[in-house]
Each structure stands twice: as structure tokens, then as C-alpha cells.
């Protein structure tokens, strides 16, 4: 079997069959692949005060592919003012809020542009070994198999709230099934003296994209957009006294997490109690479904292997 050829054909089909007009366009590998397959879209890139690398790569590729490109620049005050609404929509104070803000502003921009269907690269990192922590995993194949069953992204909830249909080609049944057949050694591989995540995905498309696009390093959405700089600003809004005298029965990761919870209490109220068929989250006390290992309310992550053992 020609693995690269079949992977390429599978992703082409998954992208082509969806009629979306917009693309949340970070300029990273995943949305770049979607752009080269379907260039007649409006690419929307979000950045905090033009910080981060996303705007550089997205402009570069938009020019290369002649894609209509829209840049939504957000200032820090505007981003922080949006946090209560994002928390209310997601019903969560997970510390991934800076990532969610990028999606939120991107989808709001799409709505203003009259775009009601927008593509995202959700699922690619999970299926093809895109995260750096995966490089050290001895049981990568089992882990990917596990998360493939439970993938859920905030873009869906944000899209539902804003009336925008989210299209996720990497989440199609065909792509997921194909990805699960690929050996982990072809997903994360040492190549030219460096360890690369999503190696097979890069190799399958390397003749269609410039080398500096196809072989760019993975950068989290919050970093590429510059939203990560909000973390310091937000942390400074919580005093040492407040944090050290925490009155809440919650395991906060840091001051930023504490800040998000304060807003959660304002817009959502008390944390939901576990249902009879759920386990208790060690982080915030809400319920976690028996076969899940990530708390959607507070962001606490349990050991997925222990969860499998405990619930079998």
C-alpha cells in the first residue's frame, strides 16, 4: 500500500466534499493543507496585536495560493473583556481559554463577513502525533486510539452559539479510520536530525507546499496568535493574598486559573455536582464520565491508562 498516496487522497476527499467558505487560518501545517486542497476560501487569522508567528505564515501562504485573507487583530483589553462570554458559552474555566479566544474572535469575524460555514484543522494533532508530549510516550498508539473515541473541540460549542457550522475534515470517519492504521513510528519520526510530529502528513503533501510551510515547527494556537501573552496580564489581576487564601475547594493550577474561576462563578454560579453514573473530578468536584479522562469544567486531566483499568 502506498501510504502517503492513500493518506493524501483520503484527506483530499474529506476536504473537497465539504462546502465551506471560510477557514480559521493559522498558517500552521493543518490549515495550510486544507488551504492547498481548497484555496477558494476566505482565510481568517487572529492575532493579539500582530504578535506571534501565525500572521507571518498565513500571509505567506495566502499570497502563495492567492487566497482571500482577513486578519483580525485583537488588543489585550478587548481579549480580556471577551473572557466572561467565552466562559459562559463553554461553561468552563479550563486554562485553555487563550486558545478559545482565538477561535471565538475568528468565528465572530466570519459572522461579520457573512460566512456561515468555516473549516478548522481540529483533530489533526491528536490523530497524527502533533503534540510535543506525545514524543515521549511508549504507548502512543493506544493513546491515539483512546482519544480518537473522545475528541471534542470548543470550536463546536462556540460555532453553535454564533450560528456558524464548523467543518472539521480531519474528524471525518474516513480520516480517523485511516489515521488509526498508520504506525506511530510514521507519525513521530526523526528526520534530518530533528524529531517531527505529523511526519507522514508532511511527507504526503511536501510537493504541494513550500518547504518552510510543510516543515514548520508545531506551535500551540495561543502561542502562534500571541494570545499566550495574556497569561501574565491575567495572573497579575490576582494578588498573592487572594491566591494563598483560596476559599474554594478547587485545585487551582495557578493564579490565572483562579481568575477564570472567579468569572465562572459570576456567569455560571456553582459547579455542577456529579451525576449518579459519573466519577468525581479531583480538581473541582464535578462529574466526569466513566470513560473520559479530562474534566470539561476545570481542565483537570487524569491518567488515561488508570481510567481504562478502573472502568473495565
pLDDT at res. 274 = 93
Q: Which domains does the chain have, with CATH numbers?
A: 3-229 (3.40.50.620), 230-310 (no CATH)
Position 305 scores a pLDDT of 65
For residue 1, the model assigns a pLDDT of: 52
Rounded Cα distance between 72 and 78, Å, is 12
Distance CA 276, CA 270 (A): 18
Q: Rounded to an integer, what is the distance from CA 270 to the centroid of its chain? A: 27
Q: Which parts of the chain register pLDDT below 70?
A: 1, 304-312
pLDDT at position 309 is: 45
For 146, half-sphere exposure in the C-beta direction (CA atoms, 13 angstrom radius) is: 16
Distances (CA, A) of 262 to 22, 97, 225, 255, 259: 34, 14, 25, 11, 5
Q: List, for residues 95-141, the tens digit of each pLDDT value.
A: 999 999 999 999 999 999 999 999 999 999 999 999 999 998 888 99
Give the residue carrying C-alpha cell 501562504.
Answer: 61
pLDDT score of 312: 45
Instruction: Give pLDDT, residue 277.
Output: 87
Amino acid at each position: 500500500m502506498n501510504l502517503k498516496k492513500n493518506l493524501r487522497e483520503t484527506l483530499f476527499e474529506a476536504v473537497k466534499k465539504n462546502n465551506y467558505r471560510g477557514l480559521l487560518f493559522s498558517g500552521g501545517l493543518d490549515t495550510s493543507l486544507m488551504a492547498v486542497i481548497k484555496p477558494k476560501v476566505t482565510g481568517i487569522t487572529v492575532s493579539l496585536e500582530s504578535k506571534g508567528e501565525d500572521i507571518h505564515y498565513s500571509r505567506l501562504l495566502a499570497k502563495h495560493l492567492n487566497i482571500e485573507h482577513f486578519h483580525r487583530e485583537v488588543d489585550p483589553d478587548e481579549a480580556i473583556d471577551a473572557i466572561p462570554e467565552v466562559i459562559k458559552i463553554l461553561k468552563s474555566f479550563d486554562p485553555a481559554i487563550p486558545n478559545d479566544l482565538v477561535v471565538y474572535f475568528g468565528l465572530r469575524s466570519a459572522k461579520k463577513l457573512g460566512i456561515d460555514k468555516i473549516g478548522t484543522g481540529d483533530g489533526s494533532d491528536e490523530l497524527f502525533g502533533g503534540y510535543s508530549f506525545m514524543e515521549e510516550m511508549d504507548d502512543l498508539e493506544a493513546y491515539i486510539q483512546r482519544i480518537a473515541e473522545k475528541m471534542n473541540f470548543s470550536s463546536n460549542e462556540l460555532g453553535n452559539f454564533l450560528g456558524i457550522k464548523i467543518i472539521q475534515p480531519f474528524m471525518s470517519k474516513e480520516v480517523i479510520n485511516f489515521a488509526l492504521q498508520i504506525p506511530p513510528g510514521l507519525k513521530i519520526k526523526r528526520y534530518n536530525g530533528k524529531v517531527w510530529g505529523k511526519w507522514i502528513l508532511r511527507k504526503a503533501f511536501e510537493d504541494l507546499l513550500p518547504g518552510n510551510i510543510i516543515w514548520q515547527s508545531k506551535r500551540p494556537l495561543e502561542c502562534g496568535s500571541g494570545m499566550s501573552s495574556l497569561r501574565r496580564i491575567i495572573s497579575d489581576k490576582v494578588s498573592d493574598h487572594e491566591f494563598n487564601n483560596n476559599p474554594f475547594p478547587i485545585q487551582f493550577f495557578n493564579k490565572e486559573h483562579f481568575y477564570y474561576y472567579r468569572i465562572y462563578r459570576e456567569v455560571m454560579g456553582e459547579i455542577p455536582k456529579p451525576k449518579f453514573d459519573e466519577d468525581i473530578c479531583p480538581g473541582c468536584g464535578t462529574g466526569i464520565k466513566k470513560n473520559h479522562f479530562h474534566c470539561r469544567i476545570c481542565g483537570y486531566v487524569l491518567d488515561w491508562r488508570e481510567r481504562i483499568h478502573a472502568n473495565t
